[in-house]
Structure 1
Amino acid sequence: MITRRSLLGGLAAGAATASPIASATRAFGTPAPAPAPVPPARTGRAAASMPLHVVNRSGAYANSSVWIYVVGNDGTQQVHVTPDGALRPVALADNGPDGYTDYAIPLAASGTTTLQLPQMSGRIYTALGGKLRFKAVEDGNGKAALAYPAGWVASDPNYDVLHDCAEFTYNSGGMFCNTTMVDMFSVPLAIELTGAKKQTTGELKDGARATVFSEVRAAEGFDRLVIGDRRVIAPGHGLDSGLFATDHFAPAIDEAWSVYAGKGLTVTTDAGTFTGRVSGGKLSFTVPPGLKRRGGGAPGGTVSFDRPSTRDVLFCDGTLAAPNDRIRGPVAAVLGAALNRSTLASQARQPATDPAAFYRQRLTNHYAKAMHAATRDGKAYGFAFDDVAGFASYIEDGAPKEITLTLTPF
């Protein structure tokens, strides 16, 4: 499986920003992603473009009040898709008299809107009730880039606009896509991908949008993350904005470090089984014999983690940053998932795979808990390592034929 971090990872590098940058381990944690590698072609079966259908079943906004934006990169430069399905590079000259681009694609007057989606890696934004303002700027390499919406920043020009997005990479190897709540949740979106088979993800249960708002508002310490009826911002961004406690996970982290000072912890990844224990304040794992880091180096040895902060846990960054190295990265992902799901101290064999055991502690990620409870398939991207053990709202197909993005009922 190509995870969200591997299919969209690296987009933070060199990005131009108009808002605070989130963790680089997050595919789109920065408001303006720079060109990034895409998954390697595996089958060569995907066409150069395919139909993207957009269906408005929100029940809250007519088609005339909804716009979409398809933006991202083609591997060499930042691009956007025009209403006729053409791929165009972002240009500083695209900024209008108000200082912003107008890359909006209006929905059809009624029914389904269809356009051609070319091969690229990016996001499909939906804006309801008003257009989004993307500003073309110059990045650190002198290339044109976009300052993306940051709905968790009160000073962002798009803060008052109801909007959300889905993420994808589409290349000759296929389509890899997800609905994401890693930064925030506002507009309920679902994806249907048709190709070798038909798959769906992201669809919420009836009335679940209101339930998410209500449950996050009721959770101790999470109430200020709910911004009226507009959106719920992820706790990591809430922490950076002073809306969430910087030490929320500290007791849970301390408990786990204490537990594994007295016994071993086993983490199993695709690369093998790592055994760990806390000593000298570090959680250190023995690397499976013969396993080498990607790019070379001596096999075996150890990999160690300092005690993470609450911010590290929420952003899956810092101590828990996950490089694509087959060793530290996979173990960090498992540890981050276990801390967000509140299973690390209680289950000495990770990753835990029974969702009935997730989020059972008082000090848990109530935001991610609410998102998973809201979806029909139980899958969501409530934090960046939610793909651990396959609980992310992610689907892929090596021979895609069409994709449908649906604004589901509010």
Structure 2
Amino acid sequence: MITRRSLLGGLAAGAATASGFVLAGRATGAPTRAHRPAPDGRAAAGMSLHIVNNSGEYANSSVWIYIVGNDGTQQVHVTPEGELKPVALADNGSDGFTDYAIPLAAGGTTTLQLPRMSGRIYTALGGKLKFKAVEDGNGKAALAYPAGWVASDPNYDVLHDCAEFTYNSGGMYCNTTMVDMFSVPLAIKLTGAKDQTTGTLKDGARAKIFADVKAAEGFDALVIDDKRVIAPGHGLDSGLFGKDYLAPAIDEAWSAYEAKDLTVTTNAGAFTGRVGGGKLSFTGPGTVSFDKPSTRDVLFCDGTLAAPNDGTLGPVAAILGAALNRSTLRSHADQPTTDPAAFYQERLTNHYAKAMHAATKDGKAYGFAFDDVAGFASYIEDGAPKEITLTLTPF
């Protein structure tokens, strides 16, 4: 399946520093390249994208859509007419920002043409988003993405959220995401070889997410009024979440495997690990080792747990990161743990991700970047897609 893991780093950097991003490719292969658009901006081969506003809080006239991303060589945006156009510095208006907003139809469903590309579909409610076109380190035009977890971001006061996708000759790969934050309930329906839906929340779940995260010890500052809930990793960077919150749980897990084996099974085979000299080292299909991660490494699935697409280190790192977020590493010596009843049972756990999974009808969510381990991410794909529907579901 496709993975969001390297996307997380690219998009987060894009939001903060305006560097570019490419949606990650398959977990076991090279990154997927979307088809390039026609050079004159004509609509590339595409499919229908339906936007349904069932929010119950905002009329169509107060909702805007932004489709932004990458065509494999450059950052692009989609026009209301379905044209795929490169981002350009000249697109910044007198206020210093682009206006790539696509308004919804006056009523009912809005149907757009979605070209082949990788990117995000942003929804903005009650006000438009401000995307700034800047020059990246390679001299190419790039977009600074909204960073709703940063109080100084120009989009901080705008209610917004997004879904992610790669659409290319191989098919459609898409997901809803709470990796950075949660604000607007979104659901995806993908119609193709079969009908699939993900991301749909239970009735009243938005309010319950806010309440559950606020009630979890150490997580309360992540709830920003009724606007959004910030992921704990971003909260840590903003001083809203404890930088050593998971340290005791990580220490316990590392200590547990000083005297017994940890088995991690990936597509490449079974790795056997022990802790010695502070490192968790594995033998098996390959030899890989990990320094003890920090709370930040676990929450961002980065640092000592960074997962390259190499077939050995990457898959083991992903499974370790998922186990630490789900608080199963110490108690389960065979990983990955596949029974969701075992997840989030410890006092020190990722209560943010726990709340997200409890809120969805299918139990799936992207509460952290390694949530695709064992298939618990709100992700769907189809090799013969016909149309996709993004629904703003009731608040």
Kept in 2, the 8 Å contact 1:41–1:173? The answer is no
**Count of residue correspondences:** 381
Alpha-carbon displacement from aligned partner over 1:42-95 (angstroms, at most 9, x marks no partner): 9xxxx9200000000000000000000000010011000000000011000000
**Matched letter for residue 64 of structure 2:** W
Specify the alignment match of 1:234 in structure 2.
231
Residue 11 of structure 1, CA deviation:
3.8
Specify the alignment match of 1:24 in structure 2.
none
Alignment partner for residue 140 of structure 1, among 131, 137, 142?
A: 137
Unaligned stretches of 5+ residues in structure 1: 21-30, 289-299
Specify the alignment match of 1:320 in structure 2.
305
Specify the alignment match of 2:73 in structure 1.
76
Specify the alignment match of 2:94 in structure 1.
97
Specify the alignment match of 2:154 in structure 1.
157
C-alpha separation in 2, matches of 1:34 and 1:364? 30
Question: Identity over the aligned pairs, expressed in percent?
Answer: 82
Specify the alignment match of 1:378 in structure 2.
363
C-alpha separation in 2, matches of 1:219 and 1:55? 33
SS in 2 for 1:364: coil
**Matched letter for residue 118 of structure 1:** P
SS in 2 for 1:368: helix
In the alignment, does 2:201 pair up with 1:198? no
C-alpha separation in 1, matches of 2:80 and 2:353? 34
In the alignment, does 2:350 pair up with 1:365? yes
C-alpha separation in 2, matches of 1:40 and 1:332? 21
Kept in 2, the 8 Å contact 1:32–1:148? The answer is no
In the alignment, does 2:333 pair up with 1:348? yes
Kept in 2, the 8 Å contact 1:269–1:330? The answer is yes
C-alpha separation in 1, matches of 2:337 and 2:274? 18
Alignment partner for residue 216 of structure 1, among 204, 210, 213?
A: 213
**Matched letter for residue 163 of structure 1:** H
**Matched letter for residue 397 of structure 1:** D
Alpha-carbon displacement from aligned partner over 1:112-169 (angstroms, at most 9, x marks no partner): 0001000000000000000000000000000000000000000000000000000000
C-alpha separation in 2, matches of 1:361 and 1:32? 37
Specify the alignment match of 1:284 in structure 2.
281
Specify the alignment match of 1:407 in structure 2.
392
Specify the alignment match of 1:34 in structure 2.
21
In the alignment, does 2:289 pair up with 1:334? no
Alignment partner for residue 180 of structure 1, among 177, 182, 189?
A: 177
Alignment partner for residue 166 of structure 1, among 157, 163, 167?
A: 163
In the alignment, does 2:2 pair up with 1:2? yes
C-alpha separation in 2, matches of 1:222 and 1:163? 21
Alpha-carbon displacement from aligned partner over 1:278-335 (angstroms, at most 9, x marks no partner): 01110000022xxxxxxxxxxx4x2110000000000000000001111110000000
Unaligned stretches of 5+ residues in structure 2: 26-30, 35-43
Return closer, same or farther for 1:395/1:36 CA change in 2, 3 Å cut-off.
Answer: closer
SS in 2 for 1:261: coil
Cα root mean square deviation, aligned: 1.7
Residue 3 of structure 1, CA deviation:
2.2
**Matched letter for residue 4 of structure 2:** R
**Matched letter for residue 161 of structure 1:** V
Return closer, same or farther for 1:35/1:368 CA change in 2, 3 Å cut-off.
Answer: closer
**Matched letter for residue 115 of structure 2:** P
Residue 9 of structure 1, CA deviation:
7.1
C-alpha separation in 1, matches of 2:237 and 2:357? 24
Kept in 2, the 8 Å contact 1:37–1:75? The answer is no
Alpha-carbon displacement from aligned partner over 1:195-231 (angstroms, at most 9, x marks no partner): 0000000000000000000000000000000000000
TM-score (norm 2): 0.94
Alignment partner for residue 52 of structure 2, among 47, 55, 59?
A: 55
Kept in 1, the 8 Å contact 2:97–2:132? The answer is yes
SS in 2 for 1:262: coil
Q: How does 1:243-258 map to 2 (within 5 A)?
A: 243-258=240-255
SS in 2 for 1:332: helix
Alpha-carbon displacement from aligned partner over 1:88-116 (angstroms, at most 9, x marks no partner): 11000000000000000000000000010
**Matched letter for residue 34 of structure 1:** F
**Matched letter for residue 116 of structure 1:** Q
Kept in 2, the 8 Å contact 1:36–1:75? The answer is no
Alpha-carbon displacement from aligned partner over 1:343-370 (angstroms, at most 9, x marks no partner): 0000000000000010000000000000
Residue 32 of structure 1, CA deviation:
4.8
Return closer, same or farther for 1:225/1:404 CA change in 2, 3 Å cut-off.
Answer: same
C-alpha separation in 2, matches of 1:208 and 1:36? 29
C-alpha separation in 1, matches of 2:371 and 2:316? 14
C-alpha separation in 1, matches of 2:77 and 2:16? 20
C-alpha separation in 2, matches of 1:5 and 1:246? 22
C-alpha separation in 1, matches of 2:175 and 2:47? 17
Which consecutive segments of 4 or more residues in structure 1 shift more than 4 A? 35-42
